């Protein structure tokens, strides 16, 4: 059965998000504290302990890093871009990672121009998150189809993998902060992507079929000819 998730239907509140972050960061911190205390009391910290401590620190860093992209340390800068160029940059960036896993990108882009107004780094992060998920869903390789086309007032972007798919009982939870189906996942990629797409007045849907694959569909409003707007937001 094919399951469709309209991600725009739910967005976690700041309060729920903060509770999640606090919880997820406290766990590795507790481990770190325990080891340091062991060292203080017994001076018996081993190399194995130290490497565990490092991986706990890495996890905290990963979680904080995923949130930084939303934190907007500087003013957000929306510029005019052709979404195909943004995608090409991301594809070039992800290509070696894909090849490493026997994965090939298949691209089908419209010939028409695809101008949008976007915060380029944030939009790139969305495509990176989605391509990473696609790659991680295909441990034995395959194809990832990336399509760009026009839909009236919108640019339609689809990223379709041939991966393991998402089981029915999981799909409603995808995009909840910290919900992950992976051993070392953070469960933040889809949530962060959804927020970024929302801030671009776009939508994001996920369709998936177990053992067939997953398709993520992103729609972004087209920037009309002549409106060369650069919007700056505090």
- Nearest-approach distance from CB 31 to ligand ADP, in angstroms: 20
- Does 137 engage in binding with ligand ADP (CB under 6 A)? yes
Q: Which residue has the tokens 């729920």?
A: 16
- The tokens for 162 are 């041939």
**134, 197, 219, 223: which one binds ligand ADP (CB under 6 A):** 134
- The tokens for 169 are 């009982």
Complete DSSP assignment for 18-44: HHHHHHHHHHHHHHHHHHHHHHHHH--
Contacts of Mg ion in 192-231 (CB under 5 A): none
Contacts of 5 (CB under 8 A, 6+ apart): 171, 172, 174, 175, 205, 206, 207, 208
**6, 23, 182, 224: which one binds ligand ADP (CB under 6 A):** 182
Residue 62 or 231 having the CB closest to Mg ion: 62
**3, 24, 119, 161: which one binds ligand ADP (CB under 6 A):** 161
- Nearest-approach distance from CB 85 to ligand ADP, in angstroms: 24
Gap between the Cα atoms of 227 and 58, Å rounded: 44
Residues near ligand ADP, by CB under 6 A: 129, 133-134, 137, 161, 163-166, 174, 179-182, 185-191, 214
């Amino acid at each position: 059965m094919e399951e469709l998730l309209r991600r725009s239907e739910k967005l976690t509140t700041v309060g729920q998000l903060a509770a999640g972050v606090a919880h997820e960061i406290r766990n590795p911190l507790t481990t770190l504290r325990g080891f340091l205390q062991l060292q203080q009391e017994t001076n018996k910290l081993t190399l194995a302990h130290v490497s565990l401590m490092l991986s706990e620190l890495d996890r905290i860093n990963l979680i904080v890093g995923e949130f930084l992209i939303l934190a907007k340390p500087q003013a957000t800068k929306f510029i005019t871009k052709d979404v195909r160029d943004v995608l090409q940059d991301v594809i070039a960036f992800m290509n070696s990672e894909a090849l490493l896993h026997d994965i090939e990108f298949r691209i089908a882009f419209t010939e028409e121009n695809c101008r949008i107004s976007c915060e380029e780094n944030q939009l790139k992060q969305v495509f990176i998150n989605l391509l990473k998920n696609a790659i991680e869903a295909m441990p034995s390789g395959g194809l990832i189809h990336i399509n760009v086309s026009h839909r009236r007032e919108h640019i339609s972007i689809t990223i379709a993998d041939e991966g393991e798919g998402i089981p029915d009982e999981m799909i409603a939870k995808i995009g909840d902060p910290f919900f992950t189906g992976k051993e070392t996942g953070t469960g933040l990629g889809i949530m962060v992507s959804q927020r970024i797409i929302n801030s671009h007045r776009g939508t994001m849907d996920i369709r998936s079929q177990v053992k067939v694959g997953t398709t993520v569909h992103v729609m972004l409003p087209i920037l009309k000819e002549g409106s060369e707007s650069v919007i700056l937001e505090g």
